[in-house]
Amino acid sequence: MKIVLHDKEFEPFIKEVAIQNRINAMAEELSDEYRNKTPLFISMLNGAFWFTADLLKQFNGDCEISFVKFKSYSGMESSGEISQSIGLDTDINGRDIIILEDIIDTGKTLAVFLEVLKKYAPASVKIVTLLLKPDALLHDIKADYIGFEIPSDFIVGYGLDYDGLGRNYRDIYVVKK
């Protein structure tokens, strides 16, 4: 099923069942790695809220969650400017931190956030992303867990939007060329 958002047409790219299967596998790996620990998951809003909810439902162990919000997109392009509208409100000194991202493309948002985190001396920091666009990376960001590597096409669905629309779709769609 194709969808139209604003002035663009999108076609199916990754089905919900594939997304859920990959999330379940990552949650199992994280549960094993953090057995007998209480990590703090930090979810990058708005896009990662679906991913965060589904991953944490499958995480088997004690954990805490916090949210931060950065914005870098306008329409289908990164603005190049990063603005933070919800900041870290939890003490992370000495904590095991797991950053949850919906998508890493240029890596600029994460590069900015990682610099902020360093000031608070966490014990460890891991990056978990549902989607990675390796060809778009402009910063030295190394994700520890990757759901899917994808091309540098614009996508929507499963929390990702195009000017506010499309987050609510269960599948991920790619812009039709």
pLDDT in tens, 56-107: 999 999 999 999 987 665 555 554 555 454 467 788 999 999 999 999 999 9
Flag whether pLDDT at 4 surpasses 70: yes
Residues 63, 68, 69, 72, CA torsion sign: negative
User: Residue 159 region, left (φ>0) first, then alpha (ψ -120 to 50), else beta?
Assistant: left
Tell the residue number behind the tokens 């950065």, with chain if given: 70
Confidence at residue 85, expressed as pLDDT on a 0 to 100 scale: 44
Q: In what order do the strands lie in the sheet with 40-45?
A: 77-86, 64-74, 40-45, 96-104, 124-132, 145-149
In angstroms and rounded to an integer, the radius of gyration of the C-alpha atoms of the chain is: 16
pLDDT tens for each residue of 13-29? 999 999 999 999 999 99
pLDDT tens for each residue of 109-129? 899 899 889 999 999 999 999
Structural domains of the chain ordered from first start: 16-70+82-152 (3.40.50.2020)
Mean pLDDT of 21-44: 97
Flag whether pLDDT at 168 surpasses 80: yes
**d(Cα 146, Cα 160) in Å, to the nearest integer?**
16
Confidence at residue 97, expressed as pLDDT on a 0 to 100 scale: 97
**d(Cα 24, Cα 176) in Å, to the nearest integer?**
29
The residues pairing with 164 across neighbouring beta strands, listed in sequence order, are none
Residue of 105, 140, 161, 171 with catalytic role: 105
Confidence at residue 88, expressed as pLDDT on a 0 to 100 scale: 77
Active site residue 54: no
pTM: 0.91
